[in-house]
C-alpha cells in the first residue's frame, strides 16, 4: 500500500501526516508513507485545496484533516 499526504507543509498538512502515522501504527498495516510538497505534483492529482490524502494513487480526502480512526477505515 502506498499513502501520500499532499501539502505544502502547513499545520494541517503536518497534522494529517501524523494522523496517518498513528493510523498505520494502530492498525499494524504495512504501507509506504510519503509527503508530496511540490505544488505541480499536487496539482497533477487534481487537488486544489490541501491537505490531500492519496491511497494507492486514488485521492480519498481533500482540504481536511481526518482522524486516525477514519484513516484506518480508508486503508482497511
pLDDT for residue 9: 87
Has 34 been annotated as catalytic?
no
pLDDT band of residue 71 (cuts 50, 70, 90) is very high
β-bridge partners, 62? 52
The conformation of residue 43, written as its DSSP 8-state character, comes to: H
pLDDT band of residue 65 (cuts 50, 70, 90) is very high
Has 64 been annotated as catalytic?
no
Domain spans in the chain, listed from the N-terminal domain onward: 2-66
pLDDT tens by residue, 25-53: 999 999 999 999 999 999 999 999 999 99
Give the active site residue among 10, 18, 43, 48. 10
pTM value surpassing 0.85: yes
Structural contact between residues 14 and 51, judged by C-beta atoms closer than 8 angstroms: no
Peptide bond just before 51 cis, omega within 30 deg? yes
Q: Does domain 2-66 have CATH number 3.40.30.10?
A: yes
The conformation of residue 9, written as its DSSP 8-state character, comes to: S
Give the active site residue among 3, 5, 6, 13. 13
Kindly state the average pLDDT of the residues 4-10: 94
Amino acid at each position: 500500500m502506498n499513502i501520500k499526504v499532499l501539502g505544502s507543509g502547513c499545520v494541517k498538512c503536518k497534522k494529517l501526516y501524523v494522523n496517518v502515522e498513528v493510523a498505520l501504527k494502530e492498525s499494524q498495516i504495512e504501507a509506504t508513507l510519503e509527503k508530496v510538497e511540490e505544488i505541480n505534483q499536487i496539482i497533477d492529482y487534481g487537488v486544489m485545496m490541501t491537505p490531500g490524502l492519496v491511497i494507492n494513487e486514488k485521492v480519498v480526502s481533500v482540504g481536511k484533516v481526518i482522524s486516525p480512526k477514519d484513516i484506518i477505515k480508508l486503508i482497511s
